[in-house]
Amino acid sequence: MDDELIQDLISDLPQSIIESILIRLPIQDAVRTSVLSSKWRYKWAAVTHLVFDHKCVAVSNDRSVVQHSLVKFITRALFLHQGPIHKFQLSTNYLQCSPDIDQWLLFLSRTDIKELVLELGDGEWFRVPSCLFNCKKLTHLELFRCELDPPPSFKGFLCLRSLNLHQVLVAPEAIESLISSCPLLESLLLSYFDSLALTICAPNLKYLCLEGEFTDICLKNTPLLVAISVAMYMTEDVAEHFEQSSSCNFIKFLGGVPHLEKLVGHIYFTKYLSIGDYPGRFPIAYSHLRVIELYQVSFEDMNEILVVLRLILNSPNLKELQISGSPNTLPAIGAPDLDFWEKECPSDCTLKRLKDVKMTDMSGVPHEMEFIKFLLANSPVLKSMTISPCVVMDGKVNMLIGLLRFRRASPQAEILFIQD
């Protein structure tokens, strides 16, 4: 009797609460609730979030068996579904080019789908059918290893706020057109693109993550950006293209992002920003920039050092700074131009809010040491500076002695020297 009462209490919960419970279950478990009672037979069929992967079906060493079972399970789930579908996610290595996916997407394009994720793993690229571009209510689109070719009649996803493309084959002009035709776009992630020259025009964009071989990047109309993360891979062709450029990459990329709060630059990003003829006058101050992370900075390249200094000196509210040295940095053969620091750093410079500094993969070359000296001398509220020398570095003791001799503007500043 008690069990029946408990069952009735659960069954009589409002549909919104039941759906909230079912959404949190793996889809195969949500379907299994149909055996609880006649009341529960089709409650799972009204859930608005459908997430499918290979765990939906029984494990088998026969790939074709898993594929057949998965297609059957998903097709039946969509056939029995009642009401709107707000999210559809398919993550599997078994259905790369299954024609059934086209049919599922055609079905979803008629349901006002809002979130769509296709993660189809290794193998052949899946060619996205044209019906995808009829999903006018999409707010989030995430594609892995797909081939994307918007039809000429496509006018954009007018409701899209988040676009993630991983290893997607798409023409450069098509990706630029896709981005610019999503007026509400706030988050953009592009990863594993090859030899792509990209101009981004997205007036509402706030979060940008780029990873791949980019021959050029221009942020043309992105005034609301608050967070940027970039990793650039360099081939000989891309490097040659960089060296031939005369336009200032720093201005093209960071000249129009006044609201930036966090900047993360991975491999070759600082090198990319250093290329081109700098106009001499800095266009904006990064008053909102709190966190800067730059990896594999070459302290033997004066132009890269200038990039780091420009960012720091024009970020009056900077709180956290993380810099890693380049693994290819070698001791200078000739005497370094240490007068550079007096020329480029104003005597009245103060990093008023900088509290935490991390320097990793340091090799102890003169300009690295001068940079650390500059930070310590001009950061009155600095609390912690963590320095990790690179593994193969000689002279770590001399480096540590040099660090301890540097003047500190902050009486609370603590230097942590970490050796692996």
Q: Secondary structure of the chain in the HEC alphabet?
A: CHHHHHHHHHHCCCHHHHHHHHHCCCHHHHHHHHHCCHHHCCHHHHCCEEEEEHHHCCCCCCHHHHHHHHHHHHHHHHHHCCCCCCEEEEECCCCCCCHHHHHHHHHHCCCCCCEEEEECCCCCCEECCHHHHHCCCCCEEEEECEECCCCCCCCCCCCCCEEEEECCECCHHHHHHHHHCCCCCCEEEEEEEEEEEEEEECCCCCEEEEEEEEEEEEEEECCCCCEEEEEECCCHHHHHHHHCCCCCHHHHHHCCCCCCCEEEECCCHHHHHHCCCCCCCCCCCCCCCCEEEEEEECCCCHHHHHHHHHHHHCCCCCCEEEEEECCCCCCCCCCCCCCHHHHHCCCCCCCCCCCEEEEEEECCCHHHHHHHHHHHHCCCCCCEEEEEECCCCCCHHHHHHHHHHCCCCCCCCEEEECCC
pLDDT tens across 41-66, in order? 666 777 888 989 888 787 778 888 88
| The pLDDT of residue 1 | 45
Q: Cα separation of 399 and 186, whole Å?
A: 45
pLDDT > 90? residue 259: yes
pLDDT tens across 260-282, in order? 999 999 988 999 999 887 766 66
Q: Which of 165-169, 238-242, 248-252, 332-336 is predicted least confidently? A: 332-336
| The pLDDT of residue 283 | 67
Which two structure tokens, joined as six digits, stand for 64?
A: 């074709």
pLDDT tens across 97-106, in order? 788 999 999 9
Closest CA to 216 of 298, 275, 150: 275
196 falls in which pLDDT band (50, 70, 90)?
confident
Residues 6 or more apart whose Cβ sits within 8 Å of residue 22? 30, 33, 43, 44, 47
| The pLDDT of residue 289 | 97
pLDDT > 50? residue 21: yes
pLDDT > 90? residue 185: yes
| The pLDDT of residue 90 | 94
Which two structure tokens, joined as six digits, stand for 276?
A: 């081109």
- More confident call, 284 vs 380: 380
pLDDT > 70? residue 91: yes
242 falls in which pLDDT band (50, 70, 90)?
low
Mean pLDDT in the chain? 86
- More confident call, 319 vs 51: 319
How far from 382 is each of 38, 311, 399, CA to CA, in Å? 66, 18, 20
Q: Cα separation of 260 and 226, whole Å?
A: 4
Which two structure tokens, joined as six digits, stand for 188?
A: 């953009």
| The pLDDT of residue 46 | 72
| The pLDDT of residue 348 | 82
> How many other C-beta atoms are found inside a 10 Å radius of the C-beta of residue 347?
6
The total number of residues shown for the chain amounts to 420
**Which residue type occupies 90?**
L
| The pLDDT of residue 281 | 67
Q: Cα separation of 227 and 319, whole Å?
A: 15
Which two structure tokens, joined as six digits, stand for 367?
A: 């300009």
- More confident call, 281 vs 317: 317
Percent pLDDT > 90 in the chain is 50
Across residues 357-382, what is the average pLDDT?
92
Q: Cα separation of 380 and 365, whole Å?
A: 25
What are the φ/ψ torsions at residue 364 (nearest 5 degrees)?
80, 15
| The pLDDT of residue 139 | 98
Q: What pTM does this model have?
A: 0.88
Across residues 248-269, what is the average pLDDT?
93
Note whether 395 and 357 are within 8 A (CB): no
